[in-house]
Structure 1
Amino acid sequence: MSEALQTAIASQRLLLQTRLSAALSRLQRPCREAWGDRAALEQALSEAMEMLPYCKYLYLLDHQARQITANVARGGLLPEHFDRDRTSRPYMAEALSGTDFSLSSAYLSRNNRRPSLTAVQRLTRSDSELLGYLGADFDLRDLPLTRELCRQSDQWLQLKGDPAIRGALFYQQRVDSLMDSRIDAILDLVIELMSSHGVFHGKLHFSSSRATLWLLDDPYHFRVLDYEDLSDPAICLAYPQRAYPDDAAIPSARIRAIFNQFRELRFMDENIYLRSGSLNIMNGLVALNFSCDGSHYMRWDEFLDKRMDFWLGSAAPTCSESEKPKPAD
């Protein structure tokens, strides 16, 4: 997981831990006072649900983590969970080891298969003797998160693909596609669409001779153009003319250099070559997928700084597990 995602998740967990710890701590007293009376405990939990509008289930366990109440839900009691042994559940580990309040890692709920969290509060008598545990289950959809959008890191990312493809890399060679035969004219048209017709994200599939485009005017729907579409300059008539976005991360004058680099990578070698390349002018990222099925995601300026010998040399680790076949004796 990327550092940016880890930071975002840690921030949300800290916020939740503070809120939920305070809420469950307030329930200790009514639970202690009703301890041993199942009906009274379930009534106390039902009343507590009003103070926890984002809670899915509340329940109580004895000191051995066996359930002594029904699951209390917003719609009533679920008695089938009474006497359930929860000692082996991962969210009980910290509480059983002595932690006063614990918040589990996110997990998929057993019944609804939804991302969930469980908070556990240890319950003790006034003399610190352990009574049991208060459990609270939460659906991530309902929790009071800040919902700040996590931004994609622009750090260079390399991913290895299918091992079967990597292993057979040097047993296959590039075959000219229809797009290869008219690559210069097709690149000119795609550059025009991105510079003057509102295309902010374009992906060229060189091997299958097609392109996938996303437009500023309709960002939720992509367009697929085949070889015939990409070979006809009249395609520009199908997309309204739009000024190049002021907030684009890539200067319009540099788009051509990026696509020219795609062309060089496509023809750089008969075994290691570009299968597809994409450019997003709004976040400034270039995505590449090579014949070894390795993928790279990097900033556009970093991409332009790389020379061909970089991609063919040992600095291309996504293809490094492939070995050239040895000549026959």
Structure 2
Amino acid sequence: MSTALKTVVARQRMLLQGRLATSLIRLVEPCRAAWPDRAALERILVTALPTLASGKYLYVLDRDARQLTANVSPQGLLPEHWGRDRRERPYMAEALAGERFSLSPVYISRNARRPSLTAIQRIEDEEGALLGYLGADFDLRELPLTRELYEQPEQWLQLKGDPAIRGGLFDQQRVESLMDGHIDEILALIVELIAAHGVFHGKLHFSSSRATLWLVDDPFRFRILDYEDLADPGTCLAYPQRPYPLDAAIPLDRVAEVFRTFRALRFMDENIYLRSGSLNIYNGIVGLNFSCDGSHYMPWDDFLHKSLDFWIGTGESCALDGGGA
């Protein structure tokens, strides 16, 4: 996970921890007063669950992390969980080590197979001796997160591909595709679709002679154009005219330069060559996938500053320097 993504996740966890700890600590005193009466504890949990935002299950464990109550769910009691030993569950580790409140990392639940969290609150008697634990499970989909949209950092990202492909790199050579034979006309068509027909994200698959397009008029669905579509300039007639967006990250007069550079990378070497290239004009990110299965994502201006010698001479196209993920 990238540092930026870790920061966003950590902030969400901090906010959740504060909310959930406040909710669970209110139940400590009633549970202590009812300890260890199973029926009384279950009545407390049944009453509390509707007040616990997005709670999926509530349960009480003894000091050995064995369940004293049924699971209390919005549908009622689930008595089959009584007596369940939770000592080995990862979310119990911090609680068993002495933490008064702990919030687990996100995990995939056993039954629903959905991202979930478990909060564990320590329960003590009046003298501070451990009685047991209060547990609460949450479905991540239902939790009151702030839901801030994660912003992808605009920096060069290298990703290594299949080692088997990299290992056989020099045993293969580029085979001319249908797109290769008419690449100038096809690139001109793609640039026109971006400049005047509402395409904001375009990806060219050179080896398979197809393109994948996303349009501002219908951004949730992509279109696939095969070689015959791409070889016919009349394809433009199928897409409404749209002005080039004012908030695009890349100036219109540099779009064609990006695609011309794709062409150069496609033919730069018989062993190391571009298999696919993409451009998103809103974030300005160029995506590249090479014959060695190395992938790169980088801002358009960084991309245009790189020479062919950079990609071939340094092995960067295949992430051979060990910097890829």
TM-score calculated relative to the size of structure 2: 0.97
5+ residue gaps, structure 1, are: 322-329
Shift of the alpha carbon at 1:317?
6.4
Deviations 1:110-147 (A, max 9, x none): 11111100000000011101000000000001111011
Once residues 129 and 151 of structure 2 are traced to their aligned partners in structure 1, the CA distance between those partners, rounded to angstroms, is: 47
CA distance in 2, matches of 1:220, 1:93: 42
Q: Deviations over 1:24-50 (max 9, x none)?
A: 111000000000211000001111112
Percent pairwise identity? 68
User: Any idea what the Cα deviations from partners look like across 1:87-126, whole Å, max 9, x if unmatched?
Assistant: 0000000000000000000001111111100000000011
Q: Secondary structure at the match of 1:220?
A: strand
Read off the aligned partner of 1:117 and give its amino acid letter: L
Question: How far has the Cα of 1:4 moved from its partner?
Answer: 2.0
User: Can you list the C-alpha shifts for 1:180-220, whole angstroms capped at 9, x where unaligned?
Assistant: 11111111111011001100000001111111111100111
Deviation sequence 1:291-319 (CA, Å, 0-9, x none): 00110000000000101111002251635
CA contact (8 A) 1:292 1:319 kept: no
| Deviation (angstroms), 1:19 | 0.4
Task: Tell me which amino acid in the other structure corresponds to 2:150.
Answer: C
Which residue is equivalent to 1:195? 195
Equivalent residue, structure 2, for 1:326: none
1:177 maps to 177
Q: Equivalents in 2 of 1:46, 1:38: separation in Å?
A: 12
- Residue 320 (structure 1) shift: 2.8
1:144 aligns with 2:144: yes
| Structure 1 position 3 matched with structure 2 position 3 | yes
Q: How many residues align?
A: 321
- Paired with 2:311 and 2:166, the residues of 1 have a C-alpha distance of 15
Q: Which residue of 1 aligns with 2:289?
A: 289
Distance 1:145 1:46 in 2: 24
Contact 1:272–1:291 under 8 Å retained in 2? yes
Aligned-pair RMSD on alpha carbons? 1.0
Q: Which runs of 5 or more residues in structure 2 are unaligned?
A: none
Aligned to 1:327: none
Query: Which TM-score applies when normalising by structure 1?
Result: 0.96
Aligned to 1:277: 277
The 3-state SS of whatever aligns with 1:48 is helix
| Inter-partner Cα distance in structure 2 for 1:315 and 1:275 | 16
Q: Which runs of 4+ in 1 moved over 6 A?
A: none
Q: Which amino acid aligns with 1:307?
A: S
Q: Secondary structure at the match of 2:208?
A: coil
How far off is 1:221 after superposition?
A: 1.2
Q: In the alignment, which residue of structure 2 is the partner of 1:324?
A: none
**Alignment partner of 2:247: what SS?**
coil
1:185 and 1:295 mapped to 2: Cα distance?
26
Matches within 5 A, 1:198-217: 198-217=198-217
Identify the residue that residue 55 of structure 1 maps to in structure 2. 55
Letter of the structure 2 residue corresponding to residue 13 of structure 1: R
Task: Name 2:35's counterpart in structure 1.
Answer: 35
Q: CA deviation at 1:175?
A: 1.0
- The answer to whether the 8 A contact 1:166-1:319 is kept is no
Partner of 1:308 in structure 2?
308
Alignment of 1:12-23 (within 5 A): 12-23=12-23
